[in-house]
Chain A
Amino acid sequence: MSSQPDRMPQQAPSETPGQPSTDVSGRAASGPTGEAPVVVAPYELSVNGVVRRVVGAWVGDSLLNVLRDDLGLLGTKGACEQGECGSCSVLLDGSVVCSCCVLAVDAVGAEVTTVEGLTPPGGLSDIQQALVAAGGVQCGFCTPGFVVAIHDLLSTRPDATELDVREALSGNLCRCTGYGRIIEAVRTVQREREAADG
């Protein structure tokens, strides 16, 4: 399978707001089992605080595919298609989820936050800064997912112990670092935030 096995082609938007699109001709091939895939009516997703229109997507498109291929948000990475590696982590209404395991249509009405949305304009968050400084980045493919997961962890459990941190990040696989420098980055942010809070 390709990493976007069921991605429908991105056509020039011919938006007819609110009207379901039933015309699938020229959009997509039939599936392996022969049936025609169903292109859903254009819908809106709120991503990083901005309402984005999705046109021509298939009903089975994952949020990951729509973010990357329709909305051009390439910071979210695909690596396993099974919710096992966390590279595609995003926040859905503030909770970390694997965007490969969320159907994009199910994110309608929710707030989606990607790594781009957690990156301050022209700079780095304290988490991003700490990951760079602590050596928590090597090939970096897992890194955006870690940024999102760490954001979620420290928002909900700022005083997590090291063991808590390890458990909370166990859904994010990294093959380069052995996690040592990533954990160190998290601990650094915890110390800095605690110091800042007095």
Chain B
Amino acid sequence: MSVAWPTRLDEAVDAAAATPGATLLAGGTDLAVEVNAGRRRPVAVVALRRVRELGEVQITPAEVVLGAGMTFSAIAAELAAAVPALAAAARTVGSPQIRNAGTVGGNIATASPAGDTLPVLAALDASVELSSTAGTRTVPLRELITGVKCTAIRPGEVLVRVRVPPARGAQQFLKVGTRNAMVIALASAALVVDEERRTVACGLGSVGPVPVRPVEAEAFIAGEIDWGRLTVPEAAVARFAELVAGAARPITDHRATAEYRRHAVAVLAGRALRRSIDVISA
């Protein structure tokens, strides 16, 4: 059988195991581009769109659990309150057509440096649940994405769920492209403020082979913020942006120069911070 249309997760896992080399098909928006260009020729497909569990989302005070098959449209609509940065990132993906088909699981599995949800998931320390006939394992996103379009997903594994914390403070996502809609990110930045834990997390997209966490910048700014008043001195914003730029590992390609990407991601991070925390002149 070259195509399987499972409707339950166990069927999907069985189908993936039963057909070595099968392509696991979520929204198809990345796969089809490769197939149309002749760069990939699937021999068998496990179509996951009908698997009910993959489309579900659970929002609890402790955790938001997204089914890997949630489309970007669904994320933008349903998670605007619970995980605003993820909803904002989902809204910037491609066009309505792409958002209606593409999924968060697909974004992770493709692992493009420009994957729009990836910097947010990185900033949220997302973990990813994978199932196979051998069982289920949970892997932090930072371990799962290993390089440009490379992941640690094993043959036969189905990406099932993505676990992130709910918002505990302001969240932002900003993305730069040379067009005002439907554009691949030249650089993007997610900012996640956790007022309970008094942390700031930042995820950067399109400035490295994998999503970048500027940990030095994060630690610096967390120390500069007056967490009682939620203010930060003006000078600290500039330093934060500088540290963000320093963490970026961009390349030059036909879309943008490394210099621009490094510059842009710092500007984005600074703006994200200003939108989240009141900036006071020192």
**Known contacts A6-B41, A60-B41, A170-B182; A40 and B33 CB within 8 A of each other:** no
How far does the alpha carbon of A97 sit from the alpha carbon of B182 in the complex, in Å?
14
Interface residues of B in 82-122 (CB under 8 A from A): 94-98, 100-101
Interface check A35, CB cutoff 8 A: yes
Number of interface residues of A (CB under 8 A): 43
Contact of B32 among A62, A95, A168 (CB under 8 A): A62
How far does the alpha carbon of A172 sit from the alpha carbon of B96 in the complex, in Å?
9
Does more than half of chain A's interface fall in helix, strand or loop, or is it mixed? loop
Interface residues of B in 228-255 (CB under 8 A from A): none
Interface check A116, CB cutoff 8 A: no
A-B contacts at CB below 8 angstroms, number: 127
Number of interface residues of B (CB under 8 A): 35
Cross-chain contact A152 with B37 (CB below 8 angstroms): no
List of A residues within 8 angstroms of B127 by Cβ: none
Task: Enumerate chain B interface residues (CB-CB to A < 8 A).
Answer: 1-3, 5, 25, 27-29, 31-33, 35-38, 40-45, 47, 49-50, 73, 94-98, 100-101, 180-182
- List 24 A–B pairs whose Cβ atoms lie within 8 Å, in order of A's numbering: A5-B36, A5-B37, A20-B2, A33-B41, A38-B42, A62-B36, A81-B36, A83-B32, A83-B97, A89-B97, A97-B101, A98-B97, A101-B29, A101-B32, A102-B28, A103-B28, A103-B45, A106-B45, A106-B47, A106-B49, A109-B50, A152-B96, A170-B180, A170-B181
Task: Enumerate chain A interface residues (CB-CB to B < 8 A).
Answer: 1, 5-6, 20, 31-33, 35, 37-38, 40-41, 43, 59-60, 62, 81-84, 86, 89, 92, 95-98, 100-103, 105-106, 108-109, 149, 152-153, 167-168, 170-172
